[in-house]
Structure 1
Amino acid sequence: MGGVKGCGFIAAGGVFFFIFSLLMLFMMAGGGGSSATAGGLGLAAGSVPTAYLQWVKAAGAECPAVSAPLIAAQIEQESGWNPNARSPVGAEGIAQFMPGTWPNWGRDDDGTHNVSPLNPADAIMAMGRYDCAIAKQVAGVPGDAVANILAGYNAGPGAVLQYNGVPPYAETQGYVTSIEAAMKKYEAPLSSGPVGGGSAFGQAEIAAAEKYLGLPYVWGGGAPSGPTGGGFDCSGLVLYAVYQASGGKIDLPHSSEDMATMGTEIPRDQMQPGDAVVIQTEQPGDYSHVVLYIGGGQIVEAPHTGAFVRTAPLSEYNGMVQTVRRFG
C-alpha cells in the first residue's frame, strides 16, 4: 500500500509527465523553473533548458560549496548547452569531460545504463561531484571559494594549490571570470524560508527531499537513511524527509495509506511548505500517493515508475481527494 502501491499511478496529466521524464533523457530544450538549491543560491525561473533542469538542480545540491547557478554557468561556458560538444583536445559532452577523467566521476545517474560524457544527465551530475571534490581539495586556499573551484575544474586542483589561488594562466583566469559573470543570470535570491513561508522543520524536509532531485523512482524504494535500490517511491521519499528533518525522532511507515491518518490534519487554506499532501488517486478511500508541498503551488515527489524525483505543480492532482498532514 501507500508508496509501494500508489506511486506507480500516473495522475491527471501524468501520462504527459511520464513521457516528459523520458524525453528529458533525449535532450529536449525548453523553459525552466525555480527552486532553492545548495550553496545559498536559487535558480532563476526559465534560465535553464527544461531537458536539463532537474539534473542541474540535483548537481547543484551535491554539496554546500556548489550551487545550481554555478553548474548552469559552467555548462554554458563549457559547451553552450550542447550535449554533443567535442573540443580539439578531446573533451566530450555537455560538461566537457576528458576520456581519462570521466571514469572517476561518471555514474548511471539516470538509470539508463548509458554511462557516458555524451549522456547529459550523467555528465551534469558528474560535474557536480567533481566540483565538490575540488572544493574539498582546495578548501584551505585563500580567496574566493567559487573562483578556486572553477580554476580547479579548468586547470586542476593541483594548480590551485601550487599557486595558492587561481593560477596565472590566461585561459584559466578567463574561464573563472566568464563563469562568475554568467552565474548572475542564473541566480535568484532566496527568502528566509521556502516559497510561501513555513517552519524550520518544513524547510529541513524540503532540503532533504530536494537533495535527491533527479534520482530514479524505485518501487518500494526509500528508508530513513536515504534511497534504497537506487531510488525512492512516493512514501519512501516523504518518510526519509520527515526522519531527517526530525533528527531521527519521527519514523513514519512506508505507506501513504498510513500517512493519511497520521500527524496533524491541516486545512487546505493553511497548508505550508513541508506539509505532506496525501492523495486518493485510484478510488475513494485509497490514499495511494503522497507528495511534499514546497510552496508557490509546487510539490516535490517521486511520482511513478519510469520517472525521477522532481518538482511539479500540485495542480496536476486537481479534482482528486486530498488530505494535508503536518508531521513536525
Structure 2
Amino acid sequence: MRASTTVTIGVGATAAVLVAALVQGAGDDPVSTALSLTVPSQYKSLIEDAGHTCSEVTPNLLAALLTQESGFKPKAQSQVGAEGIAQFMPSTWQAHGIDGNGDGKRDVWDPADAIPSAAAYLCGIAKDVKDVPGDKQSNMLAAYNAGSGAVRKYGGIPPYKETQNYVKSIQALAQQPSGGKTATTTQAETAISVAKDMIGTPYSWGGGNASGPSTGTCCSPKGRSGTDISGFDCSGLTLYAYAKAGISLPRTAAEQYAASEPVKPGDVHPGDLVFYGSSLTSIHHVGISIGGGWMIDAPRPGTQVRYDPIDVMTDLIAVARPTSHGNKEI
C-alpha cells in the first residue's frame, strides 16, 4: 500500500501526552478464523465481517494489521500522506476504496468503509503475489506494506527492515491465543526488580535472553558488534526481566509491542513497556517504566543498563503491558 509511512498518532502531540502521563502517573494456518484479539467494541463486527473476505485474511489478522497501522485511530495521518484507520495512500484509496456501509460515499476516514476496503485490498494483493515463493500470508502482508512489485522483485519479503518487522509484528499479534492476561502488579514489580539488579551491565547488540546476559551478534546500524560483549540490548533486557516474572516475550522490540496490550496514557503503571519509533511498524527501542517519568533501559552500544528519563528520546510511540498466554504467574 505504501512504503515507510510515519503515523503521526505516536509522535508529536500524542508522544507529549504519553510523557506527561508517565511523569504524572508514576503461515499455513497461522491465525484463528475467529476474532480473539481485543479490539474497540465499535469496530468488532466490522472486523469480524471483513475478516472473512478471502481465505488469506482472518479477523485476527485484520485486527492485528489495524493495530499496527493506526492503533484503531480513524483520523490517523502519516507524514507521507497515508490516511485513516487502515492508512491508505490517497492514490491507493482512489483505486481500491469501497463503499462498505452503502451510504453512497467512499470515505477513507470512515472505518465502515476503510476496514472492509483494507480486507478487500489484502485479498487483491494476495492474488497479485500468489505465485511468489514462500508463505502466502507473509507475502501478502509484505506487499501491503511495500507493494506487490517489491515482493515479486525479491521473490518474497523484501530486504527492508521496516517491512520485515511489519510482517513479524502483525503475525505475532495475530497468533496470540485468546484468554491472555496482562501482567499482574506482582509480575510488574518482579520485572522492575530484576531490571534494577542489571544496572551497570554492558550493552551488547543482540545480547540477552531469558537466562540473563549473553554475548550478542553483529552488527548494529552503525557497525557495532556484540559478539565479544556479554550483556543486554534493549529488548534482551525486557525479555529477561519478564521471563523472571513468568511472562515470555518475543525477542525484538517491535515483536514485544505486538505481544503486549496497548495502554492509554492515563492507565500507565510501573512495569509497562515504553516503546520508541517513528511509527508502530518501525519501533527501535524499548524500556521498562518505573514511574515518575523514568525507565530502566539498555540504551545503545557503548553504554550500560541504566535509569533514563522517559523523554530521553523524542519519538515515544506507545506504552503497552506484557500479556501472559498460559505462562506461569508468580
TM-score above 0.5, yes or no: no
Give the TM-score normalised by the residue count of structure 2.
Answer: 0.43
Give the TM-score normalised by the residue count of structure 1.
Answer: 0.44
